[in-house]
């Protein structure tokens, strides 16, 4: 039943999108777009209903949910695997389309909404022709579904038990919220793309499109920032390996659009001011969107191995075709506007605001290049040499690290960037007290740690950045500047804090393996930890072995979670004793009768990292306050 309704609704949606594409009546377009949003909501709710009623005749539900799955994770199962996540993707895309139609539509033409509908058309087409979350099950196993059909009204069979979500995905509520944030970020990158390409189709001669695209980029940028941050939190709190970022391909492909959109948010300001960099902004807007398609392709097609990748045979080719079509559109529109791009003004004042933004763009774009190459190089290597190679953290640390440090350094000047060339001497003399005290505090602070070159440089630069921006905010927030300037200042402040956390974590953390029996205690990094006896908890979906650990003040649990119906290994959840500077992070490695092998880590800077990411994520606040 649900399967047939879902498939038919998808067809209807597909038809409506085609109608948007052919009609030219704005009133009709308005109605169709609303209907498209409505149908996407319906599809979303329909699959949720199926998940909650355990309708195992739907192949997706029997493969990625189970009757024993707790309600929150049933809800989140919708985006727990590829086919369902496309549904959330389409819903978000239709909402962005509606938002665009309401606020940014071109008055004289419908070409923008047509381009938008063709993007959605493409993704809805995938659920119809390639693989649908509503595909009915025609050959069931005892657990899960083996074979499914994309046609409605077939004789469907139901598996007895659902397979349940991937164990990693049902271990922490953060899993339920981190992907939707990322999706909004990804999908939202379509809006600036459509806005620019469609305005240039009409051979726009002003730089108004940059303005519109910039407004449309901030929301997806913000969601991407929050999504990546939550992903880092999830990785640290749940996965039990003690880190927050692994340069895993899926993390990388979310970082690339972030770097590009951050670059664009800066370079758009240069264009707004003096009509230069037109071509460059067009390149950035295009790559922002194409990189999200590329990211989906890389992670969903099974070409790479990663914690996040869920592979599926057909989507790779499908996405490649999409990437090709939209790239060609982008290039074609670019080429017919060559004359316009050449009219771009020459840059003045290389050490003024524009110059700094250019440096920022060069650095951000270079990082994107590094991350991109690091992600796809193993694929090339294997194709050419028929041997496998792994690109590890070292590559990224060596190349991206210094670039990001340079960016942090440049942010110091963001407190006072005038159009004219910057007066370094004056900037220094005006702030000498704060610069000196930041340096002094850095020295005292550094005495507490194992010092190395990268630690010293990062800490001193970040301290100067933080103190100058804080001072700037306290002194001038109500006096001058526009909302995007203050959004930038808050984002920079957060990134300064983040840099301190990252460098502490990078240079100071260490770990140890400990073998211990119940009721014993051990000393790690000057703390005494007492172990008690293991507690077994049987939940419907999993068995949890919880080991209580006390540090003398509080008792926390580290646990091994063994999920039913899953072939995967047990998942270890850490006990984390938090502190501003360092966490003690204890996870179980293995249990043998009453002997436990524990991995104990001293993780530095994690709380600081969270604070930094939080501050950066609040950079939208000035936009709310100063909107009037």
Partner 1 sequence: MKSKKFSLILIIILIFLSFYKISNESRFEKWSKILLCPVCQGEVIYDSPSEYASDMKDILQEQIKTGYTDEQIYNFWVTRYGERIVTDNIARNFEIILIPIAIISIFIIIFLRKINAKK
Question: Interacting stretch for partner 1, rule CB under 8 A, among 113-121, 207-215, 344-352, 527-535?
Answer: 344-352
Q: How far is the CB of 428 from partner 1 (least distance, A)?
A: 8
* Residue among 41, 151, 443, 448 that touches partner 1 (CB under 8 A): 443
Q: Which C-beta is closer to partner 1: that of 279 or that of 527?
A: 279
- Tell which one of 107, 142, 346, 384 touches partner 1 (CB under 8 A): 346
Closest CB to partner 1 among 11 and 241? Answer: 241
Least spacing, CB of residue 231 vs partner 1, in Å: 15
Q: Is 244 or 258 the residue whose CB approaches partner 1 more closely?
A: 244
Closest CB to partner 1 among residues 41, 432: 432
Nearest-angstrom CA–CA distance, 322 and 334: 18
The gap from C-alpha 327 to its chain's centroid, in whole angstroms, comes to 22
Q: Which of 435, 466, 499, 516 is in the footprint of partner 1 by CB under 8 A? A: 435
Task: Determine the Cα–Cα distance for residues 92 and 267; give it in Å rounded to an integer.
Answer: 27
Residue whose CB is less far from partner 1, 419 or 443: 443
Burial of 378 (0-12, 13-18, 19+ CB in 10 A): middle
Q: Which residues of 491-514 are buried (b: 16+ CB within 10 A; e: fewer)?
A: bbbbbbbbbbbbbbbbbbbeeeeb
Residue number, 410 or 626, with CB nearest to partner 1: 410
Q: How far is the CB of 599 from partner 1 (least distance, A)?
A: 6
Q: Give the footprint of partner 1 on residues 387-426 (CB under 8 A).
A: 387-395, 398-399
Pair 60, 131: CB distance under 8 Å? no
The Cα–Cα gap between 404 and 377 comes to 22
Do 516 and 595 form a contact (C-beta atoms < 8 A)? yes
Radius of gyration of the chain (CA): 26
Q: How far is the CB of 373 from partner 1 (least distance, A)?
A: 5
Which string of x and - marks every residue 224-243 that binds partner 1 (by CB under 8 A)?
----------------xxxx
Instruction: Label residue 119 left, alpha or beta by phi (over 0 means left) and psi (-120 to 50 means alpha).
Output: alpha
From the list 206, 317, 343, 418, which residue makes contact with partner 1 (rule: CB under 8 A)? 343
Q: Which stretch binds partner 1 (CB under 8 A): 178-186, 453-461, 515-523, 534-542?
A: 453-461
State the residue for tokens 């606020």: 103
- Site residue total, partner 1 (CB under 8 A): 71
Question: CA distances (Å), 48 to each of 89, 134, 150, 167, in order?
Answer: 15, 11, 19, 19
Rule CB under 8 A: say whether 457 interacts with partner 1: yes
Closest separation between CB of residue 395 and partner 1, Å?
Answer: 6
- Rounded to whole angstroms, the Cα distance separating 606 from 497 reads 11
CA dihedral 391, 397, 399, 404 (to 10 degrees): 140
Kindly state the tokens that stand for 514.
């400990």
Pick from 94, 296, 460, 559 the residue near partner 1 by CB under 8 A.
460
**Helix, strand, coil percent content, the chain, rounded in steps of 5:** 60, 15, 25
Structure tokens at 69: 């799955």
Ranges within 358-377 binding partner 1 (CB under 8 A)? 358, 361-362, 365-366, 369-370, 373-374, 377
Instruction: Compute the distance between CA of residue 228 and CA of residue 624 in angstroms, rounded to an integer.
Output: 22
Q: Which x/- pattern over 480-519 shows residues binding partner 1 (rule: CB under 8 A)?
A: ------------------------------xx-x------
Applying CB under 8 A, among 28, 420, 451, 475 the residue interacting with partner 1 is 451
Please identify, using beta-carbon distances, which residue of 276 and 617 lies nearer to partner 1.
Answer: 276
Distance of CA 361 to the CA centre of its chain: 20
| Pairing, β 571-573 against β 521-524 | unpaired
Which of positions 131-150 make contact with partner 1 (CB under 8 A)?
none
Closest CA to 48 of 61, 63, 35: 61
CB 290 within 8 Å of CB 282: no
Annotate each residue in 280-319 with x if it binds partner 1 (CB under 8 A) or - if it does not, as one string: x------------------------xxx-x----------
**Ranges within 566-625 binding partner 1 (CB under 8 A):** 569, 572, 587-590, 597, 599
Closest to partner 1 by CB, 432 vs 580, is 432
The correct pick among 205, 206, 423, 437 for binding partner 1 (CB under 8 A) is: 437
Residue 90 DSSP SS3: helix
Q: Which is nearer to partner 1, 263 or 333 (CB)?
A: 263
Backbone angles phi, psi at 420, to 5 degrees: -75, 170
Distance separating alpha carbons of residues 165 and 335, to the nearest angstrom = 47
The only residue of 170, 442, 484, 561 in contact with partner 1, by rule CB under 8 A:
442
- One of 41, 432, 448, 539 touching partner 1 (CB under 8 A): 432
Question: In this complex, which beta carbon is closest to partner 1, that of residue 208 or of residue 429?
Answer: 429
User: Of residues 240-259, which lie at the interface with partner 1 (CB under 8 A)?
Assistant: 240-243, 246, 248-249
Tell me if 379 contacts partner 1 by CB under 8 A.
no
Contact call for residue 336 and partner 1 (CB under 8 A): no
Q: What is the DSSP letter of 422?
A: P
CA–CA separation, 145 and 426 (whole Å): 70
Q: Strand, coil or helix: what is 33? A: helix
């Amino acid at each position: 039943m649900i399967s047939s309704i879902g498939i038919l609704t998808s067809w209807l949606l597909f038809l409506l999108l085609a109608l948007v594409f052919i009609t030219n009546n704005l009133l009709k377009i308005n109605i169709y777009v609303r209907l498209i949003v409505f149908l996407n909501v319906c599809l979303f709710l329909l699959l949720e209903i199926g998940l909650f009623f355990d309708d195992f005749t739907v192949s997706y539900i029997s493969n990625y949910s189970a009757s024993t799955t707790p309600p929150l994770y049933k809800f989140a199962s919708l985006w727990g695997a590829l086919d369902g996540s496309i549904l959330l993707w389409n819903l978000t895309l239709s909402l962005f389309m509606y938002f665009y139609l309401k606020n940014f539509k071109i008055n004289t033409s419908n070409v923008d909404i047509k381009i938008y509908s063709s993007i959605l058309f493409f993704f809805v087409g995938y659920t119809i022709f390639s693989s649908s979350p509503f595909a009915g099950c025609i050959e069931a196993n005892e657990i899960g579904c083996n074979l499914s059909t994309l046609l409605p009204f077939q004789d469907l069979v139901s598996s007895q038990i659902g397979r349940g979500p991937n164990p990693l995905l049902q271990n922490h509520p953060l899993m339920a919220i981190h992907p939707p944030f990322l999706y909004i970020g990804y999908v939202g990158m379509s809006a600036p793309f459509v806005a620019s390409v469609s305005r240039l189709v009409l051979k726009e001669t002003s730089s108004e499109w940059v303005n519109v695209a910039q407004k449309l980029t901030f929301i997806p940028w913000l969601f991407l920032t929050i999504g990546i941050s939550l992903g880092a939190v999830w990785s640290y709190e749940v996965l039990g390996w003690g880190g927050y970022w692994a340069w895993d391909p899926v993390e990388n492909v979310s970082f690339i659009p972030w770097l590009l959109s951050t670059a664009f948010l800066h370079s758009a300001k240069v264009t707004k001011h003096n009509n230069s960099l037109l071509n460059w902004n067009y390149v950035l807007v295009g790559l922002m969107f194409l990189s999200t398609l590329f990211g989906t392709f890389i992670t969903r097609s099974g070409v790479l191995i990663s914690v996040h990748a869920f592979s599926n045979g057909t989507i790779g080719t499908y996405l490649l075709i999409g990437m090709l079509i939209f790239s060609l559109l982008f290039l074609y529109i670019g080429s017919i506007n060559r004359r316009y791009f050449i009219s771009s003004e020459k840059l003045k004042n290389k050490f003024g605001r524009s110059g700094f933004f250019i440096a920022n763009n060069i650095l951000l774009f270079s990082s994107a290049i590094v991350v991109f190459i690091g992600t796809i190089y193993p694929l090339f290597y294997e194709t050419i040499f028929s041997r496998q190679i792994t690109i590890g953290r070292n590559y990224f640390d060596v190349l991206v690290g210094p670039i990001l440090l340079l960016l942090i350094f440049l942010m110091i000047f963001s407190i006072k960037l005038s159009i004219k060339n910057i007066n370094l001497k004056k900037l220094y003399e005006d702030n000498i007290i704060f610069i000196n005290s930041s340096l002094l505090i850095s020295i005292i602070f550094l005495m507490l740690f194992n010092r190395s070159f990268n630690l010293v440089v990062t800490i001193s630069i970040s301290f100067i950045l933080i103190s100058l921006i804080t001072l700037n905010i306290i002194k001038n927030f109500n006096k001058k500047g526009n909302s995007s300037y203050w959004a930038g200042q808050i984002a920079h402040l957060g990134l300064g804090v983040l840099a301190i956390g990252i460098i502490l974590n990078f240079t100071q953390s260490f770990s140890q393996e400990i073998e211990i029996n119940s009721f014993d205690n051990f000393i790690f990094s000057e703390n005494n930890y007492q172990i008690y006896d293991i507690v077994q908890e049987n939940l419907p979906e999993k068995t949890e072995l919880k080991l209580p650990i006390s540090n003398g003040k509080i008792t926390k649990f580290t646990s091994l979670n063994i999920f039913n119906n899953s072939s995967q290994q047990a998942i270890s959840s850490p006990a984390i004793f938090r502190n501003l500077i360092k966490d003690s992070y204890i996870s179980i490695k293995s249990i043998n009768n009453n002997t436990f092998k524990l991995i104990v880590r001293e993780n530095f800077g994690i709380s600081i990292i969270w604070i930094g990411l939080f501050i950066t994520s609040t950079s939208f606040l000035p936009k709310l306050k100063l909107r009037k």
